[in-house]
Amino acid sequence: MAAVLAVTKSRGMEVAGAVDSHLVGQDIGKVCGMEEALEIPIINDLTMVLGSISQSKETSVVVDFTDPSTVYDNVKQATAFGMNSVVYVPRIKPETIAALSGFCEKASMGCLIAPTLSIGSILLQQAAISASFHYNNVEIVESKANTGAFPSQDSVQIANNLSNLGQLYNREDLETNDPARGQRLGEDGIRVHSLVLPGLVSSTSVHFSGPGELYSIKHDITSVECLMPGLILAIRKVVRLKNLVYGLEKFL
């Protein structure tokens, strides 16, 4: 819903179609709380939507908020209809990304797969990479108001970014048998702790320490609206691509 509102308000953009399996038949504008209907019915057939849009719109982008199991087929269908794709789906398997990369390059079509659309989250990750060259100890702490898949995509991405940089963190505490010490991600000693309490905002903190000092960076998400500037940026950039790009940070 937030994406529909953001696209509608953005210069040079309009919503052209909507696919959802639970709200079939309803007008997307009314579903999103707009005063006037967009006269775009929600249907449950991606092929039908893509076929209709391809005949009426010169440049179109498919935004995929679905599920890792459907991303490959969705992007292939969009590409077949001459449309680029922006994919914001957590935990896509590396083999799926590799297969899509080859497919998009062969078809000379653009696809942006974004582990996060939050610009603040990307800035946190970039700051963590810079700090990692100066500190030998690091731990990640994340919090959410409800349960879900842990570690979160953001924490996994931070750990991946800090891995394979030639650094082994927390050398004095590499024990993996104590659950209270958090989960180790990768082989570089990076730990993540997940906090779940009703009322907490979605938050990610990275804590570094060195001789005589602590350095902490934190990013809080209070609303899904934080993803919308990144989404609009992604849509504007992907129409110029002829291949697959992983990570919105490539365009910041």
pTM of structure: 0.88
Find residue 85's DSSP bridge partners. Answer: 62, 111
User: Can you read off the two tokens belonging to residue 11?
Assistant: 């210069």
pLDDT band at 187 (very low <50, low <70, confident <90, very high): confident
The residue assigned the tokens 């602590």 is 214
In terms of DSSP bridges, do strands 42-43 and 61-64 run parallel, antiparallel, or are they unpaired? unpaired
Over the stretch 46-69, which tens digit does the pLDDT of each residue have? 999 999 998 888 889 999 999 999
* Closest of 201, 209, 169, 166 to residue 185, by C-alpha: 169
The torsion angles phi and psi of 99, rounded to 5 degrees, stand at -65, -40
Over the stretch 127-150, which tens digit does the pLDDT of each residue have? 999 999 999 999 999 999 888 778
pLDDT (0 to 100) of residue 171: 83
The torsion angles phi and psi of 43, rounded to 5 degrees, stand at -125, 175
How far from 39 is each of 10, 28, 92, 107, CA to CA, in Å? Answer: 18, 8, 33, 33
pLDDT at residue 225 tops 80: yes
The residue assigned the tokens 């989250």 is 121
How far from 64 is each of 20, 73, 102, 127, 132, CA to CA, in Å? Answer: 11, 11, 19, 28, 33
Rounded CA-CA distance 97/103 in Å is 10
pLDDT band at 96 (very low <50, low <70, confident <90, very high): very high
- Say if CB 193 and CB 140 are below 8 A apart: yes
Rounded CA-CA distance 72/89 in Å is 11
- What value does the mean pLDDT of the chain take? 91
Identity of the residue numbered 35: E
pLDDT band at 179 (very low <50, low <70, confident <90, very high): confident
Rounded CA-CA distance 157/230 in Å is 17
**Complete edge-to-edge strand list for the sheet that includes strand 190-196:** 183-185, 190-196, 137-144, 202-210, 213-221
- Say if CB 218 and CB 203 are below 8 A apart: yes
The H-or-E segment that residue 229 falls in is: helix 228-238
